[in-house]
Amino acid sequence: MTRRYFGTDGIRGTVGEEPITPDFMLRLGHAVGLVLKRRTDTPRVLIGKDTRISGYMIESALEAGLVSAGVDVLLSGPLPTPGVAYLARALRVDLGIVISASHNPYPDNGVKFFSARGEKLPDEWELQVEAALGQAPRWVHPARLGKARRIGDAAGRYIEFCKSTFAQDLSLKGLNLVVDAAHGAAYQVAPAVFHELGASVSSIGCSPDGLNINDGVGATAPAALVTEVKARRADHGIALDGDADRLQLVDPQGRLYNGDELLYVLAMDRLAQAEPVPGVVGTLMTNLAVEQALGRRGVVLVRAKVGDRYVLEELQRRGWKLGGEGSGHLIALDRHTTGDGIVSALQVLQAVRRSGRTLAELLQDVMLFPQVLLNVRHESGADWRANTRLVAELAAVEAALAGTGRVLIRASGTEPVLRVMVEAAEEVVARQAAQRLADAAASH
């Protein structure tokens, strides 16, 4: 069965267009309830959200659908995606639901799910939900309707969890940090975590109004943070995205560090503590320089498909702990069950504190290959390999690079675009090759 609604990270789209409509969300909540009730008569579900204005509408519709199927609902209010994953475990619920479109602008929204263990659910579960969406509703008897209540201490619980992932013999005292929460779900909790660990914290992107999430701030627009770090002469800047599961980090010179580099820092910190690191999981997009640098330290890098869920699946399959993407999704399974921007930032700062070295010094052996990524409009579900010109250009570019770079072409799982990536030792070579491929893709 082909998934109709679920993409690489739950269900996402533009609000007011199917499936991001109140009637669909009502049906979705009911379908999820039907699937949950196959395992238990009294399931409980936790719902968290980011700061988009549409979150109220979707939350109410999901709540009604779940309650109509006999499911009890706990509402956390605005909370980072990894916070919902944590509380799903801590509160022993059967499912965690996050209402968010992550790094997308406010007109978009979506829904993603976590298991009772705080892990993303497999494709099989999503297929069960899609099948239930095609069935007639089965309203429970009025006496068996679910109940809903709000959790007053959700943020506080999650703050304490984040702090617990930082080494107890270290603190952040003496550090001046700028925290950018992208006007998103972490706008309250992120500054509090770093402040309570001893840092002096100033904030940007922490004044949500329902419409400004990811707007010129956050991990997808880090220029504002770079400017603020320089202006304040801060030690580090921490940029999260709208649902706070990804991280970009800035040093005092305004240099920006991406997820590939930070993954290397985490691996080296574990090795410095004599912890075993047999390998790490990246993606098809992970920079070749990071793979080579890890290899020189005896650490294997395995590439999963693009998407943090696939990184997580590969980590679980191999029994490894560290993985991530250049976009800033970092997973440390010895700290959390899913990617967490705040926890990842703490792990990086922990490495800096332990080593007594700057980020630039920790990464002096990693000289990133220039990567050029271009997006080309592409019909969802269409096979780009049917474009004979693109296939021919791809073969020509790969032959020209002759092992000195990489090419990756893939359809996005969240947008109607084809992503064309070229990596080479020289940026001009990568840019020219990427443009050739993008022109070929656009001609179809």
Q: Distance between CA 59 and CA 359 in Å, rounded? A: 40
Nearest-10 Cα torsion for 312, 318, 323, 324 = -50
Q: Of the candidates 360, 361, 366, 332, which has an alpha carbon nearest to the alpha carbon of residue 346?
A: 332
- Annotated active-site positions, please? 102
Partners of residue 177 on adjacent β-strands: 201, 236
Q: What is the DSSP code (8-state) at residue 120?
A: B
- Reading the block at residue 53, the tokens are 């204005």
Q: Of the candidates 363, 382, 345, 227, which has an alpha carbon nearest to the alpha carbon of residue 290?
A: 363
Secondary structure (3-state) at 390: helix
CB atoms within 10 A of CB 72: 18
Secondary structure (3-state) at 281: strand
The residues, any chain, with a CB within 8 Å of residue 76's CB and separated by 6 or more, are 46, 47, 48, 49, 83, 84, 87, 150, 151, 154, 155
Q: Of the candidates 434, 395, 348, 422, which has an alpha carbon nearest to the alpha carbon of residue 175?
A: 348
Secondary structure (3-state) at 166: coil
CB atoms within 10 A of CB 272: 12
- Reading the block at residue 404, the tokens are 């000195």
Secondary structure (3-state) at 12: strand
β pairing state of 247-250 and 236-240: antiparallel
Q: Distance between CA 315 and CA 222 in Å, rounded? A: 29
The helix-helix angle for 427-442 and 388-401 (nearest 10°) equals 170
The residues, any chain, with a CB within 8 Å of residue 413's CB and separated by 6 or more, are 7, 8, 9, 306, 307
> Are residues 384 and 409 in contact, defined by beta-carbon separation less than 8 angstroms?
yes
